[in-house]
Amino acid sequence: MKNYLFILLCCFLFACEQTEPSPPETLEDYIGQNTRLPLVRDSLIACAAGGQENFMIDEERPISIFYYPEGNATNFMYYETATIDADPGDLSQFKIKLLPDAPIFNGYLRHFSREPTDQNIWCRVSYTKNNRLYISNAIRLKYDDFPSEFNPELLTIDQTENLSPVFNWQAGRIPENAIYFQVVSDTENNLLSGTYTFEERFQFYNLENVVLNIRDITPAPTLTSENDYRFLLMGVSSDNWVNLIIEKGFDTR
């Protein structure tokens, strides 16, 4: 009986010493607590915009961090550095920050919403998918210095071929665009196509100058006659800040 009580006491003391791991404070901590998940870098597509007029306006949270939750991705997380002087390659500098996030284009894309910041900082996004942990490239938030420009006047649409319109645009006032992201959506806000080009031109649905296609499906997306659509463009710099936003409707009548 004494031996039995001694064993119970030892088990109780051992259990008391087993504490739950502390919540991760940084991206490095989060990765360390999920070592069972292989780490996938740089394939999570993300960028940020803020300060523009007439597009996704939120006075309290004017910065949007957009990302593509590929496939069955879950556990969406956001991290940022304290200052711009932090090394963007040092994951211990990226602290977890709880921000509201919401779907756009009926969930095909998502975005975190952040309050304004008066200094440049770095941020990253992560999610898990198929038992892997994905992290984005570092994004430089430049809300105060280079607010995103919303300017539909820079877009022209050539509808000589009514169901294959050609979209041409100008670079805008911030000459730092490294790549352009285009979305064509329908009246129910469904994303029909999502493409990237280096050129200031895209024709629906010609992929000759497309360098990345986030909706590579068969059969290819098509437009139909007598319908309304919307075109969205983002000009993105090499540090993943959105310099230019264009949104304009068009129809196939």
Among 234, 227, 222, 233, which residue's Cα sits nearest to residue 250? 227
pLDDT in tens, 54-64: 999 999 999 99
Q: Residue 234 is part of which domain span?
A: 149-251
Model confidence band, residue 4 (pLDDT cutoffs 50, 70, 90): low
Q: Report the pLDDT averaged over residues 161-175.
A: 97
Does 39 reside within a domain? yes
Domain closes at, from 141, 164, 194? 141
Q: Report the pLDDT averaged over residues 233-237.
A: 98
What is the average pLDDT value for the chain, to the nearest integer? 93
Does 5 reside within a domain? no
The answer for 161, left when phi > 0, alpha when psi is -120 to 50, beta otherwise, is beta
Domain closes at, from 141, 166, 190? 141
- Do residues 123 and 82 both lie within one domain? yes
| Number of domains into which the chain is organized | 2
Q: Does residue 235 register a pLDDT over 70?
A: yes
Does 13 reside within a domain? no
Does 89 reside within a domain? yes
pLDDT in tens, 80-118: 999 999 999 999 999 999 999 999 999 999 999 999 999
Domain closes at, from 141, 157, 192? 141
* CATH number of the domain that residue 160 is part of: 2.60.40.10
- Measure the CA–CA gap between 213 and 192, rounded to whole angstroms: 11
Element of type H or E holding 149: strand 149-150
* CATH number of the domain that residue 76 is part of: 2.60.40
The CA–CA distances, whole Å, from 14 to 11, 17, 18, 47, 101 equal 5, 5, 7, 47, 40
Q: Report the pLDDT averaged over residues 210-226.
A: 97
- Do residues 29 and 123 both lie within one domain? yes
Q: Does residue 41 register a pLDDT over 50?
A: yes
Pair of tokens at residue 224: 């139909």
